[in-house]
Amino acid sequence: MDEEKNVIELKGIVKDYGDFRLDKVSFSVPQGCVCGFIGQNGAGKTTTIQIMLDSIKRDEGEVFLFGESIDGKSEILKQDIGVVFDEMGFHDFLTGKDINIIMKNIYRDWDEELFFDYMKRFSLPIKKKCGSFSRGMRMKLQIATALSHHANLLIMDEPTSGLDPIVRSEMLQIFREYVVEEDHTILLSSHITSDLEKIADMVVFINGGKILLSGYKDEILQSHGIVKCKKDEVKTIDSEYIVYREISSFGAEVLVTDRSKIHKKCPDLLVEAPSLEDIMIYYVKKNGRL
């Protein structure tokens, strides 16, 4: 990863609100990568993104975008960033035509033709006030706007939350197309792990303001395993590989970090491949913040 160009790099980010604290958050996202930023609601995803965009000030740490510190340069760097939030940032009385005029005066590389192409592709009326749009239409409008100034980085905070499966699938297809073009990069914050399993190259798990796990998605899924066994069989599993164990009157489930070694050392135990959701839940339980 050292040889790769990092589009996003966070080093030791701290933000203390008293009742909530981002605690030494560090991770990086290479160019051309889709990074799933995973965590339950209130885990610190939105705060981290706001610090990344210099919308709120950090107490400690450094943020680099495209290899440059955001300090004193955030407004310039944001010209190359498309942003999609959970809530639409446009006034309800604005139409697609109005938004086009506004964005022309904000982004130096605003592409009017591309914007209206996206509006047509998404079946969004350009003369209708966006306040009357459904949630799915509002998200499509945000995405059309974010993609229409030739941004090299797309940062999205829960863009598929609350959407029906058909619209979510359509959104994911658009994101795939975006990444394929010119090594674009995406940071996709979500608690819907099934979406991220389909599209993410790497994942970063955050909970209670701390990064619990980060790395390439396939490596994380291949290395971790869920052991299902009897209660008295748990002691046969080497503790250094155990993330969390859940014991009930019916038996035990144990999340382990190296399922191939567990297979070799305990060949009689059933070790299953976990989903990202399984991994997230067990790490959160370990951290005591479910």
Confidence (pTM): 0.89
**3-class DSSP state of 43:** coil
Whether residue 280 is contained in a domain is answered as no
Confidence band of 1 (pLDDT split at 50, 70, 90): very low
pLDDT tens for 250-272 read 899 999 999 999 989 888 898 99
Confidence band of 94 (pLDDT split at 50, 70, 90): very high
What is the reported pLDDT for 144? 92
Question: Is the predicted pLDDT of residue 287 greater than 90, yes or no?
Answer: no
> Domain count of the chain?
2
pLDDT tens for 200-231 read 999 999 999 999 999 999 999 999 999 999 99
What is the reported pLDDT for 2? 43
**Range scoring the smallest mean pLDDT among 75-84, 131-140, 161-170, 184-193:** 161-170
Domain that holds residue 116: 6-220
Whether residue 128 is contained in a domain is answered as yes
Whether residue 66 is contained in a domain is answered as yes
Top pLDDT among 265 and 63 is at: 63
In eight-state DSSP terms, residue 275 is P
Residue 100 CB partners (closer than 8 Å, separation 6+): 112, 115, 116, 126
Question: Is the predicted pLDDT of residue 73 greater than 90, yes or no?
Answer: yes
Mapping DSSP onto H, E and C, the string for 95-146 reads CHHHHHHHHHCCCCCCCHHHHHHHHHHCCCCCCCCHHHCCHHHHHHHHHHHH
| Residues 160 and 260 reside in one and the same domain | no
- Whichever domain contains 134, its CATH number is 3.40.50.300
Q: Give which of 180, 187, 224 is closest to 206, Cα–Cα.
A: 187
What is the reported pLDDT for 170? 84
The CA distance from 136 to 111, in Å, is: 23
The CA distance from 33 to 78, in Å, is: 19
| Residues 110 and 214 reside in one and the same domain | yes
Question: Is the predicted pLDDT of residue 139 greater than 90, yes or no?
Answer: no
